[in-house]
Amino acid sequence: MHQGSCHCGAVRLTLPSTPETATDCNCSLCRRIGGPWVYFPFGTVDIQGHPEQTEGYVQGDRTLCTYRCRHCGVTTHWEPISPVAEAAGKHGVNLGNFDPALIASVRVRRLDGADTWKFLDD
Ligand SMILES: [Zn+2]
């Protein structure tokens, strides 16, 4: 069971399983937030303090909402908005909120989300 939290601890996340890969995306939002991102079926990530302690941000094609802690400002996760988009049915979690040993154990793949939506290591 992997548990993580934002910097101040107001938002706490528990992953349903151990991720093997994560995504480092270069799109206009992700390159600012950092990450890397790991993905799970929507509803399988336990998130305490959400939505009470979080604020959302919707951008671009409005397919997902990215959430941050309203106290420390750290981005914690995203949720799908559009049921037909790429993001539908998935939860994105910012792995930066977890144990450094877990982050180090995961293979990070670089995604060209800014342009081609292809992994650069394919
Ligand atoms: Zn916080």
Q: What is the per-residue pLDDT across 30-57, written as a single tens digit (0 to 9) for each?
A: 999 989 999 999 999 999 999 999 999 9
The kind and range of the H/E element at 101 are: helix 100-105
User: Region 71-87: what's the mean pLDDT?
Assistant: 87
pLDDT of 1 > 90? The answer is: no
**Distance from Cα 56 to the centre of ligand 1, integer Å:** 14
Number of Cβ within 10 Å of residue 75's Cβ equals 24
**Distance from Cα 12 to the centre of ligand 1, integer Å:** 9
**Distance from Cα 2 to the centre of ligand 1, integer Å:** 18
Task: Measure the CA–CA gap between 109 and 122, rounded to whole angstroms.
Answer: 9
User: Region 71-85: what's the mean pLDDT?
Assistant: 89
**Distance from Cα 6 to the centre of ligand 1, integer Å:** 5
**Distance from Cα 5 to the centre of ligand 1, integer Å:** 8
Supply the pTM of this predicted model.
0.92
